[in-house]
Chains A and B, each alone.
Chain A
Amino acid sequence: MTTLDATTGQAAPSGWAAGLKDRLQQLLAFASLIVIFGFFSVASSSFFTYGNVTNILFSTVVIGTLALGTTFVIITGGIDLSIGTGMALCAVMSGVFITNMGIAVPLGVLLTLLFGGLIGLVNGFNVSVLRLPPFIATLAMMLVAQGLALVISHSAPIYFTKDPGYVKISTGSIFGVNFPNAVLVLLVAVVVSVVLLNKTILGRYTYSIGSNEEATALSGINVRRWKIVIYTLAGLFIGLAGVMISARLGSAQPATGMGYELQAIAAVVIGGTSLAGGKGSVVGTVIGALIISVLNNGLQIMSIPQEWQNVVLGLVILVAVYADMIRKKEA
């Protein structure tokens, strides 16, 4: 159509150019990670050691798992505040299943994952059927989960002493000492997330809903049902995080969890996912989670007080998001 070619102005960037731009974004996040890592290695001699790097990886597993599920929710334009205390509740449930009820580890783990899924399902129901704003629905769930975790555990930790196999889920190694299972679990979760987000209709609708929810509905997609599915998926990741953190500690700590949601959301945002929905990536989230754990760990090693750690973390989020915005404006 010569006519139209001649009359319609501006050409849009072609697919690969846009792809390159997205990749550049991830590259920049990755570069910042390297810089931060380098800084701490120079600043403290005990940072870049086998033991400490393993520590960083272990904490990345927990934040990363939570952040993965949240990535889906945030790409739809939603938010999930219940992941932190939800994780604590799942850890407690895992203790109930395995320690208190004596259920075998594999089945106990499965039940815990499903319990996490149930938390997500309720969130999804509240958001899409009752049409509560995600912020409110998951804020309520955050409180409910924390309360339940304390009630069920009578405010006391539950130890997994009866079944030493449980701890192996995190610290054991099926490939030999240098590769803890926890990292393997995270890798699998990442791969699954990448495939779900990029290769399945679940992922396509996740982006689509976040990009324009009404248009998605008008295209004949059952947006309500898919939102329930997406929140439930995030719930399964909550369950997984609950297992991983309790396996790492050898106990379920009912009073922890609060605060993890903000770290996970920060990881997602640093990774370039837009809180307005429609865009984001799993790889970005993983890099974001690594940045958060490296910062947490590095600041701790340099004996910077917890209060100041939070200040630094807050500033990093500001800078990361601002840099992302500048980049977008210039593009």
Chain B
Amino acid sequence: MTAEVAGSEHLLEVRGVSKGFPGVRALHEMHLTLRHGEVLALVGENGAGKSTLMKLLSGIYTADAGEFWLAGRPLSVSGPKDALEQGISIIHQEFNLMPHLTVAQNIFIGREPRVAGFLSDREQNRRAAELLDRLGLPLKPRQVVGNLTVARQQMVEIAKALSYDARVLIMDEPTAALNDAEVSTLHDLIRRFRSPETGVIYISHRMDELKAISDRVTVIRDGEYVDTVDTRATSMPEVISLMVGRTLTSEARPQGVRADRETVLEVEGLCTKDLLKDVGFDLRKGEILGFAGLMGAGRTEVARALVGADKMSAGTVRLRGRQVRIHNPAEAARHRIGYLSEDRKNLGLLLEQDVASNIAISSVAERFTTFGFVDFKAMRERAKEMVRTLGIKTPSVQQTTKNLSGGNQQKVVIAKWLVKDCDILIFDEPTRGIDVGAKEEIYRLLNDLAEQGKSIVMISSELPEVLRMSHRIVVMTEGRVSGVLDSDEATQESVMHLATLRPDENLRDAAELGLVDESVLASAVPGAGDDRKDPDQ
């Protein structure tokens, strides 16, 4: 596949584009082509330059060299608004919503319907309702975006992007925060958007969805073009080896259920005001305990209540047999419980600080101080070590964290908790936005930690990951624990079955319930019911 083919056969063309930042060569003579009517997947490791390319296309950055062509004509974009006007619509990797505004206000920001010069909220809500209806999204125009779940916020982003008359729709990891059912809704939307006049560039680290949605896959590595392949004619391992430049072999997987090990954490009757009802489970030494469930099932809430970030309204927590009451995350840390939040940008990182400070922040008091003075050298050394182990792509540990790519920021958060010596680690969506190679690295580290006798709670929406990594799996639904499975009895089907159980099953109209359950199962687990395949193999 060469990029020399010119002409309007291509909807969008990138030719020899380079972009550098101080100390970083983000893109070097990059090229790619997007054909009319296709979905082109763009893949590459964290920091490969994917988001940078998209930011060039939306006019947020200016290229150092190279050119863009749209439908056979040179394209120059002066800024986000200009990009939108020229038909390029982007969903960025980080959320870009105004939390205080309503769904309709967010969708129509910048082109509010006006009557005689004044805003017409009625007209705006009407149009938004129409749009949401057409897209089949379960949102209401007047809902305040900040009150929505992460998944629904993502839907607002999607609705906003599709509401423009876009020719090129670019999605930078749109599914990182979605569960399988929501992913398939998104894919439906993309298929409906696709027409001979339009095209989609789709960035994702979830290899399984590339097969489902893309026509071709362009691989980039270290800011350079590697290859473009036909999705149907390739296998995912092939794509992955193009991406990382080698074949991935490690298939880390913990062995054996450790029923013999002592219990370090027991939770009983945990309730919160909003969601959790009578949650109970126990965690053993050296165990990886997976938490599965649909978005909003209450897994994050369990973690937050445990570390005292949210208030428990009832329940007891026993730590190594002793009952404890944890009021805030600092207390949790004193009990050597660490919590890696799912919301990295707001809760996990000091974006304006450098990488070293971020990695050391939780442990600086106990590890990097002598007589109250911070030992910056030791701190930086330890940070450098973590940067090496996790393969964090950054020119130095003194780089401002804000400037790292999304996946590399996530790695910094993980490094922070690995540096701190915790006995119990709660990881909430630890591999969200992380590339396949680094994922393996993190799995390996989790295994090592468990082997050393640490206990790990892993909350994840990626079922294969939970199935592969956990000794046992706690499945939650609507704020309750609906079942605990041993790793040898857990399958995609058994987990999904528990995850979609409704506690008040009997009270509901049976027909309606049947419909709900079936559609969830069908869209979440391809071929559920007819093809019982064991993920252990």
A216 adjacent to B98 (CB under 8 Å): yes
A180 to B452, CA, bound (A): 80
- Name the segment of B147-155, B223-231, B413-421 touching the other chain: B147-155
Q: Which B residues are in CB contact (< 8 Å) with A207? A: 98, 100-101
CB proximity to A under 8 Å, residues B65-106: 79-85, 92, 95-102, 105
CB proximity to B under 8 Å, residues A204-237: 204, 207-208, 210-212, 214-222
A69 to B83, CA, bound (A): 34
Instruction: Tell yes or no: B316 within 8 A of A by CB.
Output: no
Among residues of A, the one whose C-beta sits closest to the C-beta of B143 is: A12
Q: Which B residues are in CB contact (< 8 Å) with A16? A: 142
Instruction: Tell yes or no: B319 within 8 A of A by CB.
Output: no
- Name the segment of A1-9, A46-54, A122-130, A289-297 touching the other chain: A1-9
B118 adjacent to A199 (CB under 8 Å): yes
The answer to whether A221 and B98 touch (CB under 8 A), given A2-B516, A2-B519, A7-B179, is: no
- Name the segment of B243-251, B259-267, B290-298, B432-440 touching the other chain: B290-298
Instruction: Tell yes or no: A155 within 8 A of B by CB.
Output: no
Q: Which A residues are in CB contact (< 8 Å) with B296? A: 7-10
A208 to B102, CA, bound (A): 10
A172 to B179, CA, bound (A): 67
B119 adjacent to A199 (CB under 8 Å): yes
The answer to whether A3 and B519 touch (CB under 8 A), given A211-B98, A218-B80, is: yes
A278 to B100, CA, bound (A): 6
Instruction: Tell yes or no: A200 within 8 A of B by CB.
Output: yes
A10 to B138, CA, bound (A): 12
Instruction: Tell yes or no: B110 within 8 A of A by CB.
Output: yes
B143 adjacent to A3 (CB under 8 Å): no
B109 adjacent to A216 (CB under 8 Å): yes
CB proximity to A under 8 Å, residues B134-160: 136-138, 140, 142-144, 147-149, 151-152, 160
The answer to whether A5 and B109 touch (CB under 8 A), given A201-B119, A207-B101, A219-B80, is: no
A218 adjacent to B92 (CB under 8 Å): yes
Instruction: Tell yes or no: A176 within 8 A of B by CB.
Output: no
B109-125 contact mask (Cβ, 8 Å, vs A): 1 or 0: 11010100111000000
Instruction: Tell yes or no: B361 within 8 A of A by CB.
Output: no
Q: Which A residues are in CB contact (< 8 Å) with B58? A: 218
Among residues of A, the one whose C-beta sits closest to the C-beta of B58 is: A218
Among residues of B, the one whose C-beta sits closest to the C-beta of A203 is: B119
Q: Which A residues are in CB contact (< 8 Å) with B83? A: 220
Instruction: Tell yes or no: B274 within 8 A of A by CB.
Output: yes
Q: How far, in Å, is B516 (CB) from chain A's closest CB?
A: 5
Q: Which residue among A9, A199, A207, A216 has the maximum number of chain B CB atoms within 10 Å of its CB?
A: A9
Instruction: Tell yes or no: A305 within 8 A of B by CB.
Output: no
Instruction: Tell yes or no: B257 within 8 A of A by CB.
Output: no
Q: Which A residues are in CB contact (< 8 Å) with B99? A: 211-212, 278
Instruction: Tell yes or no: B399 within 8 A of A by CB.
Output: no
Among residues of B, the one whose C-beta sits closest to the C-beta of A15 is: B142
A14 to B100, CA, bound (A): 14
The listed residue (A3, A215, A279) touching B185 by CB distance below 8 A is: A3
B520 adjacent to A212 (CB under 8 Å): no
The listed residue (A3, A199, A218) touching B181 by CB distance below 8 A is: A3
Instruction: Tell yes or no: B60 within 8 A of A by CB.
Output: yes
A12 adjacent to B79 (CB under 8 Å): no
A8 adjacent to B138 (CB under 8 Å): yes
CB proximity to B under 8 Å, residues A160-205: 195, 198-201, 203-204
A218 adjacent to B60 (CB under 8 Å): yes
Q: Which B residues are in CB contact (< 8 Å) with A18? A: 144, 147
The answer to whether A7 and B109 touch (CB under 8 A), given A13-B147, A215-B96, is: no
A208 adjacent to B147 (CB under 8 Å): no
The answer to whether A1 and B114 touch (CB under 8 A), given A10-B149, A218-B80, A219-B80, is: no
Instruction: Tell yes or no: B212 within 8 A of A by CB.
Output: no
B118 adjacent to A220 (CB under 8 Å): no
Q: Which B residues are in CB contact (< 8 Å) with A216? A: 98, 109
The listed residue (A5, A200, A211) touching B118 by CB distance below 8 A is: A200
A98 to B415, CA, bound (A): 67
Q: How far, in Å, is B406 (CB) from chain A's closest CB?
A: 14
B181 adjacent to A4 (CB under 8 Å): yes
Among residues of A, the one whose C-beta sits closest to the C-beta of B142 is: A15
B152 adjacent to A8 (CB under 8 Å): yes
Q: How far, in Å, is A4 (CB) from chain B's closest CB?
A: 5
The answer to whether A208 and B181 touch (CB under 8 A), given A3-B519, A10-B296, A15-B143, is: no
Q: Which B residues are in CB contact (< 8 Å) with A200? A: 117-119
A203 to B100, CA, bound (A): 13
A9 to B274, CA, bound (A): 11
Q: Which B residues are in CB contact (< 8 Å) with A208? A: 98, 101, 105, 109
The answer to whether A5 and B138 touch (CB under 8 A), given A204-B109, A212-B98, is: yes
The listed residue (B79, B105, B142, B148) touching A14 by CB distance below 8 A is: B142
A10 adjacent to B274 (CB under 8 Å): yes
Q: Which B residues are in CB contact (< 8 Å) with A1? A: 136-138, 185
Among residues of B, the one whose C-beta sits closest to the C-beta of A198 is: B119
Q: Which B residues are in CB contact (< 8 Å) with A6? A: 500, 516, 519-520
A7 to B180, CA, bound (A): 10
A212 adjacent to B97 (CB under 8 Å): yes
Q: How far, in Å, is A293 (CB) from chain B's closest CB?
A: 29
B178-199 contact mask (Cβ, 8 Å, vs A): 1 or 0: 0101100100000000000000
Among residues of B, the one whose C-beta sits closest to the C-beta of A213 is: B98
Among residues of B, the one whose C-beta sits closest to the C-beta of A278 is: B100
Q: Which A residues are in CB contact (< 8 Å) with B112? A: 201, 204
Q: How far, in Å, is B123 (CB) from chain A's closest CB?
A: 13
A209 to B274, CA, bound (A): 31
A201 to B296, CA, bound (A): 35
B416-451 contact mask (Cβ, 8 Å, vs A): 1 or 0: 000000000000000000000000000000000000
Q: How far, in Å, is B524 (CB) from chain A's closest CB?
A: 8
A215 adjacent to B98 (CB under 8 Å): yes
Q: How far, in Å, is A212 (CB) from chain B's closest CB?
A: 5
Instruction: Tell yes or no: B523 within 8 A of A by CB.
Output: yes
A12 adjacent to B100 (CB under 8 Å): no
Q: How far, in Å, is B208 (CB) from chain A's closest CB?
A: 18
A215 to B515, CA, bound (A): 38
A220 adjacent to B140 (CB under 8 Å): no
A219 to B80, CA, bound (A): 7
Instruction: Tell yes or no: B45 within 8 A of A by CB.
Output: no
B81 adjacent to A220 (CB under 8 Å): yes
B182 adjacent to A7 (CB under 8 Å): yes
The listed residue (B92, B136, B297, B500) touching A9 by CB distance below 8 A is: B297
CB proximity to A under 8 Å, residues B32-85: 58, 60, 79-85
Q: Which B residues are in CB contact (< 8 Å) with A15? A: 102, 140, 142-144
A7 adjacent to B295 (CB under 8 Å): yes
A198 to B120, CA, bound (A): 10
Q: Which residue among A200, A211, A220 has the maximum number of chain B CB atoms within 10 Å of its CB?
A: A220
A4 adjacent to B182 (CB under 8 Å): yes
Q: Which residue among B101, B137, B143, B515 has the maximum number of chain A CB atoms within 10 Å of its CB?
A: B101
Task: Offer 26 A-B interface pairs, CB within 8 angstroms, sorted by A.
Answer: A1-B185, A2-B515, A2-B516, A3-B185, A3-B516, A3-B520, A6-B516, A7-B181, A8-B182, A8-B296, A9-B149, A12-B147, A14-B142, A15-B143, A18-B147, A204-B101, A208-B105, A208-B109, A211-B100, A215-B98, A218-B92, A220-B81, A220-B84, A221-B110, A222-B81, A278-B98
User: Which 10 A-B pairs have CB atoms at the shortest separation, nearest pair first?
Assistant: A9-B296, A15-B142, A220-B81, A12-B147, A211-B98, A215-B96, A278-B100, A211-B100, A199-B118, A219-B109
* Chain A residues close to B by CB (< 8 Å): 1-10, 12-16, 18, 195, 198-201, 203-204, 207-208, 210-212, 214-222, 278-279
Given contacts A8-B182, A12-B152, A278-B98, 7 further A-B contacts (CB under 8 A): A3-B520, A4-B181, A7-B520, A207-B98, A211-B101, A215-B96, A218-B96
